[in-house]
Amino acid sequence: MLSETSKKTRQVIAIVMVVFALVTIFAEPLMVKAVLPPILKGQQARYDKMSVSDVKEDQVKAELIKDTPYLVSFFYPFWMALGVFGCIVVLAVAKAYVEGKQWARGLSLLGFSFVAMGGAYMLVPSINFTSFSTGTIYTLIIMALGLIPYFTILLGEKLKGKLWGALLFLMLGIQGAHSFANGHAAMRVQWMHPARPLWPEGTWVLWLGTQVMWLGTLCIIAAIYFLGVRKKAGYYLALIGGLTTAFANLFVHFVRGTTSDYILGGSFGLIIVVLMLIPAVYKPLFDEEPA
């Protein structure tokens, strides 16, 4: 429990939390402002090039990315907003964390996970459309602004099995960002396919890739909070989220395996499930035994 960690240690952790929260609140909006325009220009340029190509396959692909700038211009600020909001929450509960309130620990972990997952989501489009530019460095900085205090909380406290716990929390964050991004990609194909509202061969499986995937993602994000407050519900949410995202990712991969993204997502989900089946991993995470 948090109360087992000395007050001095909690104070040091709280200082780290407050510093990173303040920096994130002011820095992340400015970094996203710098990152987003070059990505949108890169996406538009790729569409313009493919749409006039003599290769029919390029023309089909062009339709599938035609409205991508609209999606990205929504979801980048969306994740930025979650990160800023999460850090404001951290500032509000920092005093309660020092006092040893377990609910403050859960909210702090959740708040910084928003920052880290947002940076992870922003990273791949930045690499794809601007290579390893300044914008890519900014997305890595955003990830670090979330990950450093996230692991400061997990590793700084006096808890049994905290290394296993940190591994699980890491996998939850990775899968939260990865499965959200995969759901985003599936939704893009769903809504932008030139045959819509009909479903061409093989694309029906993207129902699982978006709706089912995002339901599992919500479970995984909720698990971060409930495991953070050491509640048994976190065990079940992590298990359900791992199973759901593994199923959705693997099903999409084997029906419509056009990239390695879904097999990776399925593997991450299975890793979470396996971790939640190992007593040495899950027993130190909460104060109640799972049924």
pLDDT along the chain (291 residues), means of 10: 83 97 97 92 78 70 74 92 98 95 95 97 87 87 97 87 89 95 84 72 79 95 95 94 95 82 94 93 76 49
Rounded-to-integer distance, Cα 104 and Cα 157, Å: 14
**Residue 269 sits in a domain of what CATH number?**
1.20.140
Structure confidence at residue 4 (pLDDT):
80
Q: Helix, strand or coil for residue 283?
A: helix
Does one domain contain both 118 and 198? Answer: no
- Domain termination residue (choose one: 129, 158, 187): 158
Report whether 10 contacts 100 (CB < 8 A).
yes
Does one domain contain both 152 and 165? Answer: no
Q: In the chain, which ranges are E strands?
A: none
Does one domain contain both 151 and 15? Answer: yes
Rounded-to-integer distance, Cα 230 and Cα 2, Å: 10
Rounded-to-integer distance, Cα 81 and Cα 84, Å: 5
pTM: 0.91
Q: Please list, in sequence order, all residues whose beta carbon lies within 8 angstroms of the beta carbon of residue 152, skipping any fewer than 6 positions away.
A: 13, 16, 17
- Domain termination residue (choose one: 90, 123, 158): 158
Does one domain contain both 185 and 242? Answer: yes
Does one domain contain both 144 and 164? Answer: no
Structure confidence at residue 94 (pLDDT):
96
Does one domain contain both 95 and 198? Answer: no
Does one domain contain both 171 and 224? Answer: yes
Does one domain contain both 135 and 262? Answer: no
Does one domain contain both 190 and 212? Answer: yes
Rounded-to-integer distance, Cα 258 and Cα 186, Å: 11
Domain count of the fold of the chain: 2
Structure confidence at residue 207 (pLDDT):
82
Structure confidence at residue 76 (pLDDT):
93
Residue 38 token pair: 């070059």
- Domain termination residue (choose one: 104, 138, 158): 158
Does one domain contain both 217 and 129? Answer: no
Rounded-to-integer distance, Cα 125 and Cα 189, Å: 16
Rounded-to-integer distance, Cα 251 and Cα 262, Å: 9
Does one domain contain both 74 and 107? Answer: yes
Rounded-to-integer distance, Cα 121 and Cα 139, Å: 9
DSSP state of 208: I
DSSP alpha helices (H): ranges in 193-231? 206-207, 213-228
Does one domain contain both 213 and 143? Answer: no
E strand or H helix at 166: helix 162-192
Domain of 6 in residue numbering reads as 1-158
Structure confidence at residue 191 (pLDDT):
75
